[in-house]
Amino acid sequence: MNSLTILGLLPLIGSAALFLLPKGSDLLAKQVALGVSIVVAIAGLGMAFSFNRSATGFQFVEKHQWIPAFGINYALGVDGISLLLILLALVLTPVVIAACWHEAEGGRWSVKNFFGLILILETMIVGVFAATDIFLFYVFFEAMLIPVYFLIGGYGTGEKAAAAVKFLLYSLFGGLLMLASIIGLYVISGNQLQAPTFDVTALSQLSIDPVTQRMLFLGFFIAFAIKAPLWPFHTWLPDAARAATPGTSVLLLGVLDKVGTYGMIRFCLSLFPEASKEFGPTIIVLSLISIFYGAFLAIAQGTSSGDGNIKALISYTSISHFGFITLGIFAFTEQSHSGATLYMINHGFSTAALFLIAGWMISRRKSERISDFGGLQRVTPIMAWLFFIAGMSSLALPGLSSFVSEFLVLVGTFARYPIPAIIGTIGIIFAALYILIPVQRALHGPITPGNENLTDLTLREKVSIAPVIAVIIFFGFYPQPLLDVINPAASATLSALQITGIMGGK
Amino acid sequence: MNPYLPIIAIGAVGFGFAAFSVVAAAISGPRRYNRSKIDAYECGIEPTPQAAGGGRFPVKYFLTAMLFIIFDIEIVFLYPWAVSFDQLGLFGIVEMFIFIATVFIAYGYVWRRGGLEWD
Amino acid sequence: MNAPNIEYGILGPILIVLAAALIGVLIEAFVSRRYRYILQTGTAFAAVALAFLQLVLIRQTSSKAAVSSMSIDGVTIVLQGSVLIFGFLGLLLIAERGFQSFTAQAAAIPGSNEEQKALVSGLQQTEVFPLTLFAISGAMLFPAANDLLTLFVSLEVLSLPLYLMAGLSQRRRLLSQEAALKYFLLGAFSSAFFLFGSAFIYGQAGSTTFDGIRKSIVESGGSDQFLLVGLALLTVGLLFKVSAAPFHAWTPDVYQGSPTPVTAFMAAVTKVAAFGAAIRIYYFAVGGLVWSWRPILIAISIVTMAIGTVIAIAQKDIKRVLAYSAIAHSGFLLTGIIALSKDGLNATLIYLFTYGFTTIGTFAIVTLVRDSGGEVSDLNRWAGLGKRSPLVAGTFTLFLLGLAGIPLTSGFVGKFAIFTAAYKSGNISVVVAGVLASAIAAFFYIRIIVMMYFSDPVEDGTSVVIPSAMTVATIAICAVATLVMGIYPQPVISAINSLAFFAG
């Protein structure tokens, strides 16, 4: 067995152990889950150090026949992009488990099931990013919906069942469109190669006629746009984020939704280069709309006098951020690509920090309304400061990690599409608004009645959030290690596109 | 000779017999009019007045009729076998006995479950 | 004239089941009531097992039989094997302890004193076993038929017992009798179409055997309108059996009214048999007319998927939901016939094989959810099942995901195979329609899952009974099959691929 399989299998074994625990052993379940996820994270980091940064192509490759009748293989492998996304998931999982220690206690089912589901989800995430066989990717893509569905529906708040169903149906719909495209690709590969295959590398060698390519591209793209989510496919996200527990939201927005943008890079661009170029400008327009749409709705939540919801606000900021990511992807320059990939990682961490801290605020105040959090700066200074740092990272303040990625995306886009880049830059101003307004209203200002006796972060909470904050600050000053891993993969994708003209040189 | 000639001849004979019978009956038969003469069927069961319940037949009647048809059909299948008995030989006997056995199983079932009892 | 030759060996599987059915009739007639149940179940299970054994022994056969009126080839073997397996599972459900799903005295007027008396005295009629065996033998003959007359006879042997069995439900007798009558009348109607079509085809082709029809199409170039009229009428008869729109109207009523074990049996076995026969007709007999029938079947397939999935959303009764789901699956299965290729043949057989397990499992679980009066099929009362009995709800979820075709369940493998075959044959429209229909279908499957897990249980006496070993075994077999064929389908696929050939 290869290292990637082991990495994916460990959390699954952990979750099986959790399900086998007797009823009522909640504390033990939490400890087991945390232990397993930390072991997996360390194993993943260890793997990352043996990753050859100068090589292109997939590493840690393994391949076994699965359903030879259909040419389906169990094939795993990572390049720079997927490696970092896997690491993002592996690091965030123990953080979420530690940070959301008590989150599952109000749920419909037992605590051990909650953590079991999270570990299953971790397995699925490793699988979805590591799969180099499209069929295998699709299987993980669909299968990971199920734990999320139960996490939202079983442990969420408010309209959780409806939100869970909406999430599942949107994703399934996209997934089925993708399935049609996968079948199309498979049939074409059968016509052009000796045997039909699902191997990504082999499929990228196909020459597909333009009309078919456009249809197949759309099948993949819509699935990923729903996942990402890109305007106008985003409507499930606010509901899901509002209903989910903060920990689930972190995994959902921080990691899972990256499957969408990852899929665009890995599949849309490399399998359908012509169609990608053709649809590029349209998608850039959609990205810009997402940037502003997300920002405006976030501002609306922030400025709304009574019922501005902090979880909804964070989810809207994510729509805006995903707009930047797709902008970078479809600008087709090396800088924009590196920026977009880096953005995926950074957004994962900054959103994680925002959601976790917001979750602690909500659990203390027993309210999700932004206007209820007045004066936290004075009552709970550490929590307020951490929220501030996370917010600053979200609005891409120089010195924090998101800045680098947003800068790269905009500079890279400018090289090819100057006007969209300028419009995108204006989006940053709105980003400042949607972060600063809630910070100013919630953290500063007079203490809202009911907030006087709130307690500050416990040691567990501080320790659990520390790695996230550390990452945000560290990679804000020194993003080079990440870029070293990303750049070869990004240029490989672009060279597959055979983009001529401006290459956004370094 | 035209192969259809015998058919036409048989048709003519049949028609002729029918016509002869009607005419001969009209000429030679005695004429005694009474009530049963003007009934629908001169022979067979006397139609009862209205059956109880508005002219419905009891369902048992249909059951018996069905059973009759089934066993009647059996005879129909026996006929072609009898005609080509020589050519079919042992195969025919075996198959026919299997067939008769299956019908007898049905018969046994009907008998034991009371399908042949009127009340 | 020479005496014809009957190949008893390769017809053995069918003959064994038929003989057992006759023995069942004798048992019913001559054995004391006390021993009937045990003898009937013993005969039935032994017969199906023996027949399966004989089928395994003759699995390499590929020839015509009974004077070319039947064709025992790889396709037949696969289909008969499927029928026997699903028949066995169906029998397990039917034989469930206490016979709770079946009426004691089917002939008694609903709600009458006679009915009550029969029920209280516990004098159950056990005719359902021979009836099931007859239906199984018909279902085995149907896909093997190589002649329009044999096809018609086997259609009736399959259907007549089912009409009766539909009316045997213990609860809601009127609904059950209504279902039986509806099924019978519409079935008789479609049989007439079928027979009329056969007559037209015979008139044109001069032969009732499929080989003869095939030859005549090659010779005439398939341009004769009487052949097309005949085929159209024949298609009506077949589409009725597979419950494709617009001939699907009986399905929800019959599925709902029948005793649930019978529904399970009929859903799986009829589908296998009817699609098996359809495959032989469209692939073998009238394959030469593909340009005439393909557009029609494409339209019917799309309409069937649409009706099945859209109307299912509005249903409030679990058995009706599953009935519409069965209609939608017929639409999916038709895409395999439309493909008209070796891939399509393989895919259809794989789909049928995987679908049967899932659907029997689903109905098996429906038999478990009861209140004091019997099965509870109102969806609203399934609320909170996940809390009350997590294991049952979990297994049911697995089956629903299988029906929805979610990856890692067998339903996905079947769906993938069949859509790939259709795409490969260039019929992309049905693939797109199928994908969209799957998306809609996911909605109502998920709605049931939501109901079970995210709604609070209502205290109205609904509970999950502890089933006997028979139902447990059925559910366990179906669940394992759904899961294993989803994760590692290769052995089944290669077995079917290597077997599925028509005899010349």
Could you read off the pLDDT of C415-434 as tens digits, one per residue?
Answer: 999 999 998 888 888 998 99
Q: Is residue C66 part of a domain?
A: yes
Q: Phi and psi for C374 in degrees, rounded to 5?
A: 140, -155
Q: Is residue B118 part of a domain?
A: no
Q: Is residue B62 part of a domain?
A: yes
Q: Is residue B103 part of a domain?
A: yes
Global pTM reads 0.86
Question: Hey, of C391, C454, C497, which one would you mutate to test binding to chain A, going by the most A CBs within 10 A of its CB?
Answer: C454
Q: Is residue B117 part of a domain?
A: no
| C32 touching B (Cβ < 8 Å) | no
Residues near C488 by beta carbon (within 8 Å), at least 6 away in sequence: A66, A67
Is A209 a residue whose pLDDT tops 90?
no
How many beta-carbon pairs under 8 angstroms link B with C? 32
Query: Measured between alpha carbons, how far is A453 from A455 in angstroms, rounded to an integer?
Result: 6
H helices of C173-209, in order, are 173-205
Query: Measured between alpha carbons, how far is B29 from C450 in angstroms, rounded to an integer?
Result: 88
Q: Which residues of C touch B90 (CB under 8 A)?
A: 3
Query: Using an 8 Å Cβ cutoff, are C355 and C270 in contact?
Result: no
- Specify the DSSP class assigned to residue A76: E
| C189 touching A (Cβ < 8 Å) | no
Q: Which residues of A touch C446 (CB under 8 A)?
A: 165, 168-169
| C431 touching A (Cβ < 8 Å) | yes
Report C:359-388 residues touching A (Cβ under 8 A): 387
- Specify the DSSP class assigned to residue C409: S
Q: Is the peptide bond before C13 cis (omega within 30 degrees of 0)?
A: no
What is the DSSP annotation of C441-499? HHHHHHHHHHHHHHSPPP-SS-EE----HHHHHHHHHHHHHHHHHHH--HHHHHHHHHH
| C406 touching A (Cβ < 8 Å) | yes
Q: Which residues of C touch B106 (CB under 8 A)?
A: 25
Give the mean pLDDT of chain A: 83
- Specify the DSSP class assigned to residue A440: I
Q: Is residue B65 part of a domain?
A: yes
Q: Which residues of A touch C425 (CB under 8 A)?
A: none
CB-count exposure of residue A446 (10 Å: 0-12, 13-18, 19+):
exposed
H helices of A50-144, in order, are 80-99, 111-130, 134-143
Query: Measured between alpha carbons, how far is A80 from A341 in angstroms, rounded to an integer?
Result: 10
Q: Is residue C3 part of a domain?
A: no
Q: Which helix (H) or strand (E) holds A284?
A: helix A273-303
Of the listed ranges A208-217, A440-449, A470-479, C88-97, the least confidently predicted one is A440-449
* Domains identified in chain C, total number: 1
| A364 touching C (Cβ < 8 Å) | no
**Three-class secondary structure assignment of C138-157:** HHHHHHHECEHHHHHHHHHH
Nearest C-alpha of chain C: how many angstroms from A173?
A: 5
pLDDT at res. C277: 93
Give B52's pLDDT tier (boundaries 50, 70, 90). Answer: low
| A67 touching C (Cβ < 8 Å) | yes
Q: Is the peptide bond before A229 cis (omega within 30 degrees of 0)?
A: yes
Question: Hey, of C420, C451, C455, which one would you mutate to test binding to chain A, going by the most A CBs within 10 A of its CB?
Answer: C420
Domain span at B34: 5-112
Neighbours of chain C (3+ CB pairs under 8 A): A, B
Q: For chains A and B, tell me whether 3 or more CB atom pairs sit within 8 A of each other.
A: no
Question: Hey, of C8, C22, C127, which one would you mutate to test binding to chain B, going by the most B CBs within 10 A of its CB?
Answer: C22
Residue B74 vs residue B56, higher pLDDT = B74
Q: Is residue C504 part of a domain?
A: no
Question: Hey, of A70, A137, A183, A218, which one would you mutate to test binding to chain C, going by the most C CBs within 10 A of its CB?
Answer: A183
Domain span at C410: 8-499
Closest to B105 (Cβ–Cβ): which among C1, C4, C22?
C22
Closest CA to C88 of C470, C393, C469: C470
Q: Which residues of A touch C438 (CB under 8 A)?
A: 176
The reply to whether residue C29 touches residue B112, judged by beta carbons under 8 angstroms, is yes
Q: Is residue B61 part of a domain?
A: yes
Q: What does each of the 504 residues of chain C score in pLDDT, given as a tens digit?
A: 577 788 888 899 999 999 999 999 999 889 888 888 889 999 999 999 999 999 999 988 888 888 888 999 999 999 999 999 999 999 999 988 666 677 777 777 777 777 777 777 766 778 899 999 999 999 999 999 999 999 999 999 999 999 999 988 887 888 888 999 999 999 999 999 999 999 999 988 889 999 999 998 888 876 678 888 999 999 999 999 899 988 998 999 999 999 999 999 999 999 999 999 999 999 998 888 888 899 999 999 999 999 999 999 888 899 999 999 999 999 999 999 999 999 899 999 999 999 999 999 999 999 888 877 778 888 888 888 888 888 899 999 999 999 998 888 999 999 999 999 998 888 888 998 998 899 888 888 888 888 888 777 777 767 788 788 889 999 999 999 999 999 899 999 999 999 988 887
| A177 touching C (Cβ < 8 Å) | yes
Of the listed ranges A169-183, A408-422, A451-465, C218-232, the least confidently predicted one is A451-465
Nearest C-alpha of chain C: how many angstroms from A459?
A: 34
* Domains identified in chain B, total number: 1
Is A503 a residue whose pLDDT tops 60?
no
| B114 touching C (Cβ < 8 Å) | no
Q: Is residue B79 part of a domain?
A: yes
- What was the ipTM of the complex prediction? 0.82
The reply to whether residue B88 touches residue C28, judged by beta carbons under 8 angstroms, is no
| C436 touching A (Cβ < 8 Å) | yes
The reply to whether residue A70 touches residue C453, judged by beta carbons under 8 angstroms, is no
Query: Measured between alpha carbons, how far is A405 from C298 in angstroms, rounded to an integer?
Result: 50
Q: Is residue B21 part of a domain?
A: yes
What is the DSSP annotation of C259-298? -HHHHHHHHHHHHHHHHHHHHIIIIIISGGGHHHHHHHHH
